[in-house]
Amino acid sequence: MLRRSVWRTALTAFAAVAVLLTVPLTVAEVAHAQTYPPRPPPSLSLSQLFVVAGDPVRFTAKGFDPNQQVVAVLRDRPSQPLGTFQADARGRVSGSVTIPRSTGLGFHQLQLKGQNPNLTASAFLFVFPRLTPHAGESSQQEEQQHAKVDAGIGPRQVGGAAALVALGGGAWLGARRLRNGTR
154-158, 165-169, 177-181: which is most confident: 177-181
Minimum mean pLDDT range among 38-42, 96-100, 134-138, 162-166: 134-138
The mean pLDDT of the chain is 79
Minimum mean pLDDT range among 1-5, 66-70, 141-145: 141-145
Q: Above 50 in pLDDT, residue 1?
A: no
Name, in order, each residue with C-beta under 8 angstroms of 3's C-beta and a sequence gap of 6 or more: none
* Nearest-angstrom CA–CA distance, 70 and 43: 13
Strand partners, 86: 69
* Nearest-angstrom CA–CA distance, 31 and 88: 33
Nearest to 94 by CA among 125, 63, 124: 63
Q: Above 70 in pLDDT, residue 2?
A: no
Cα diameter, the chain: 111
pTM of the model: 0.54
pLDDT digit string, tens, across residues 98-112: 999 988 889 999 999
Q: Are 149 and 131 in contact (CB under 8 A)?
A: yes
Side-by-side strand order, sheet with 119-128: 50-52, 119-128, 106-114, 69-74, 83-86
21: left (phi over 0), alpha (psi -120 to 50) or beta: alpha
Q: Are 103 and 53 in contact (CB under 8 A)?
A: yes
Q: Is the peptide bond before 100 cis (omega within 30 degrees of 0)?
A: no
Top pLDDT among 181 and 28 is at 181
Nearest to 42 by CA among 77, 78, 87: 87
Taking residues 15-39, report their average pLDDT.
Answer: 69
Taking residues 153-182, report their average pLDDT.
Answer: 74
* Nearest-angstrom CA–CA distance, 143 and 141: 5
- What is the per-residue pLDDT for 171? 77
pLDDT digit string, tens, across residues 56-107: 999 999 999 999 999 999 988 878 889 999 999 999 999 999 999 988 889 9
What is the separation of C-alpha 138 from the centre of its chain, rounded to a whole number of angstroms?
37
